[in-house]
Amino acid sequence: MAKVCMIGLGKTGLEIARYMVNSDKLDLVMAVASPGSSKLGKDLGELLNTRDTGIKVTGGDSLADNLKLFKPDVAVDFTDPKASVKNLEVLAKHKVNTVICTTGFTELQIQRIRAITLANKVGTVIAPNITVGVNVLRFVCEIISGILDDYDVEIIESHHRHKKDSPSATALKIADSILKGQRLEGKKNLVVLDRNITGMRRDKEIGVHAVRAGGIVGIHKVLFVSEEDKLEITHESFNRSIFAKGVEKAINFIIGKKGVYDMDDVLDFKTALESYVLRQAEVN
Ligand SMILES: NC(=O)c1ccc[n+]([C@@H]2O[C@H](COP(=O)([O-])OP(=O)(O)OC[C@H]3O[C@@H](n4cnc5c(N)ncnc54)[C@H](OP(=O)(O)O)[C@@H]3O)[C@@H](O)[C@H]2O)c1
């Protein structure tokens, strides 16, 4: 059973920790809060409003010492970009593979994550959206955009009022996948955020719009629109426990691996596509 270190005990991290505490497939051995957090020293059960778990919350500043003590196989990070990179430096040095779920990294920080992973010969999954359904939506959009390549595409994402980054990293990844599907990979100037200019939309432009309101867990809607019809694909997360299912898949994937991976690797879309092509070949 994988021994897991959970880093970041905020809104989402606590829900993931709750899932792990109740799981008979994952063994949660560490729960890490920010240095100086009011959660330090408490039993994780107290934060989850459940029975004692025997797991005492430790601080990000004593990560190295506790990794030596509890020897987790994998760490899961739901913190913030700066803390996440700092945590990875320590985890990689101690040969602990990591699933990074934190979002909002700059391109430079992503490069740093890659460099730390490769230099220390460990494995890292970078998963700006860990939800299986959203990743399937992104994959499907890539395929559709290759077929409906003259349709206008708009992405609308909605999240709770506390979300710090905007638009969501997931919406931008969906836009990247659509560009890829249209063989316009890397043409980021076609992605227009919260359109606020006067003038007509350009061909191939992808509009991305962010709604921030109340307690919405996460909605991603993609519109493919022509003069004659509209195809609309929506994914909605009802609660944060959906994240735990993706985290479990990513943990099981990254154990024993070296290198940098994303959710496409975890969910193995390539094999799904290959078996579709094989099935079609059999039918014909
Ligand atoms: N990939 C996905 O599918 C997905 C899903 C949901 C959220 N996220 C992302 O995950 C991150 C966290 O989201 P959230 O909604 O849980 O935010 P949040 O409620 O603000 O939680 C962030 C937590 O990080 C902790 N933290 C900060 N520095 C730390 C450190 N050095 N060591 C350990 N913990 C540290 C803070 O701990 P204290 O409370 O102890 O100060 C805080 O509780 C965000 O980037 C969010 O966008 C990703």
What span, in angstroms and rounded, lies between the C-alpha atoms of 274 and 266? Answer: 16
Tokens of 45: 């059960």
- Segment 55-67 shows an average pLDDT of 98
- Report whether residue 135 contacts ligand 1, using a CB cutoff of 6 Å: no
pLDDT in tens, 100-129: 999 989 999 999 999 999 999 999 999 988
In angstroms, what is the span from residue 81 Cα to ligand 1's centroid? 9
What span, in angstroms and rounded, lies between the C-alpha atoms of 253 and 247? Answer: 10
CATH number for the segment(s) 132-237: 3.30.360.10
Q: Name residues whose C-beta falls within 8 Å of residue 54's C-beta, 6 or more positions apart in sequence.
A: 43
Question: For residue 157, what is the enclosing H or E element?
Answer: strand 152-159
What span, in angstroms and rounded, lies between the C-alpha atoms of 39 and 62? Answer: 14
For the chain, domain boundaries: 2-126+241-268, 132-237
In angstroms, what is the span from residue 110 Cα to ligand 1's centroid? 17
Task: Give one word for 194, left, alpha or beta, with left for phi > 0 and alpha for psi -120 to 50.
Answer: left
pLDDT band of residue 138 (cuts 50, 70, 90) is very high
- Annotated catalytic, 94? no
Nearest to 235 by CA among 144, 156, 137, 143: 137
pLDDT band of residue 198 (cuts 50, 70, 90) is confident
Collapsed DSSP state (helix, strand, coil) of residue 167: coil
- Annotated catalytic, 160? no
Nearest to 218 by CA among 153, 163, 284, 175: 163
- Report whether residue 167 contacts ligand 1, using a CB cutoff of 6 Å: no
What span, in angstroms and rounded, lies between the C-alpha atoms of 206 and 134? Answer: 18
**Fold of the 2-126+241-268 domain:** Rossmann fold (3.40.50)
* pTM for the whole structure: 0.89
- Which residue's CA is the closest to the ligand 1 atom numbered 43? 10
Residue 204 to residues 143, 156, 237: CA-CA distances in angstroms? 16, 17, 29
* Averaged confidence pLDDT in the chain: 95
In angstroms, what is the span from residue 239 Cα to ligand 1's centroid? 16
